[in-house]
Structure 1
Amino acid sequence: MFKLISILLRGRAHDAEQAFADRHAVPLLSQQIRDAAQQIQSARRSVAVAIAQNEQEKGQHATIVARIADLENRATAALTKGNEGLAREAAEAIAFLEAERDASEKAQAQFTAGIDKLKAIVRASEARLQALQRGERLARATEEAQKLDVVVAGPGLATLDEAEETLARLRIRQSQNDLTAAALKEMEGAIRPAGIIEKLATAGCGPALHSSADDVLARLKSRITPAA
């Protein structure tokens, strides 16, 4: 019995933990992405340090090779002069430097292999991080869209319906107001003498109320005195 209760408790704890993670999935994803980005940045620094150390090793290797060449020339000169003892000392130094040279070349090979491997890991990690960042942006957009969908499907839908009905009533009222104003204007024009006179003049009954361009042009021509 105790074992069954223990299993049940652990099962409920797991379900609660999973439910909590699901409710906070987007913030959790964002933090995980930030943690991953920091780790990738740390890996980049490690690669940079390894490259710097390898360059330093190359510089030391070049110095060793130059010293070996210099000692060989000097040892040859000592042998030429018959100073074998001094030449032996130079040979011992050369042997020591050659061991250092070989160790340096081995270290460089290890550095190069390690750096190439680290670079490949960082590149792959950066690609995965970019994919995660794109996924995060999509997840956030989807979550916001789902929230809006829930709002619209719930009380928000009634609000939208009411707003649409209000707009329709407003448009009808505005249209009625425009028609009423036009009718009043027409009625006022029909009742007022000035309005009747304007209608008669427009219909060609009697002189025009306003001069036309032709009338003005004719008047200006009449003012011109013919040349003698």
Structure 2
Amino acid sequence: MFKLISTLLRGRARDAEQAFADRNAVPLLAQQIRDAAQQIQSARRSVAVAIAQNEQEKGQHATIVARIADLEVRAIAALTKGNEGLAREAAEAIAFLEAERDASVKAQAQFTQAIDKLKGIVRAAEVRLQELQRGERLARATQEAQKLDITVAGPGLATLDDAEETLARLRLRQGQNELTAAALKDMESATRPAGIIEKLANAGCGAPLTSSADDVLARLKSRINSAA
């Protein structure tokens, strides 16, 4: 019985953990991406350190090679002068330096191989990180869109319906107001003599109440003719 209860509790804990992770998937993803970015930055520093160490090893190798060449010249000079004991000391130093030189060459080869491998790992990780960052942005946009969809589909839909009904009533009332104003204007024109005269003039009955451009031009030409 205890074993069954223990198994059930573990199952419920796992379900609760998974449900929590699902509810917080986006912020969890963002933090995981930040952690990965920090690890990639640390890997970049490791590559930079390896490159610096390799450059240092190259400098030491060049120094060793130069010392070997100098000792060989001096050893030959000692042999030429018949000082074989001094030449032997130089030969021993040369042998030691040659071993150092060979070890340096191997170290450089190892550094180069490790650096190339690390660079490849970092490049691949950077590509994956960029894909994750794009995916996170898309996930956030999708989450916000889903929130909006839920809002509209739920209480927000009723709000939109109410707003549309309000707008329809507003447009209807504004249309009625315009018609009422037009009707009042017509009624006022019909009862006022000035309004009747204006209506008759606009209909071409009698002299127009306002001068047209043609009338003005005719009057100006008449003045010119009179002056001549």
TM range (shorter): over 0.9
Which amino acid in 2 is paired with 1:182?
A
Aligned length, in residue pairs: 226
Hey, what does 2:219 align to over in structure 1?
219
In 2, distance between residues paired with 1:7 and 1:174?
Answer: 70
Amino acid paired to 1:93: A
Task: Encode CA deviations 1:203-222: one digit per residue, 9 max, x unaligned.
Answer: 33322211121221222222
Deviations 1:51-108 (A, max 9, x none): 1111111111111111111111121222222222222121111111111111111110
Q: Which runs of 5+ in 2 are unaligned?
A: none
Instruction: Output the CA distance in 1 between the equivalents of 2:202 and 2:160.
Output: 51
Matches within 5 A, 1:1-228: 1-224=1-224, 225-226=227-228
**Which sections of structure 1, spanning at least 5 residues, go unmatched?**
none
Q: TM-score, normalised by structure 2?
A: 0.94
Structure 1 residue 162, shift from structure 2 partner: 1.0
Instruction: Name the SS of the counterpart of 1:223 in structure 2.
Output: helix
Letter matched to residue 40 of structure 1: I
Residue 202 of structure 1, CA deviation: 2.3
Taking structure 1 as the reference length, the TM-score comes to 0.94
Amino acid at match of 1:189: S
Partners of 1:34 and 1:75 lie apart in 2 by: 61
Q: Separation in 2 of the partners of 1:141 and 1:31?
A: 17
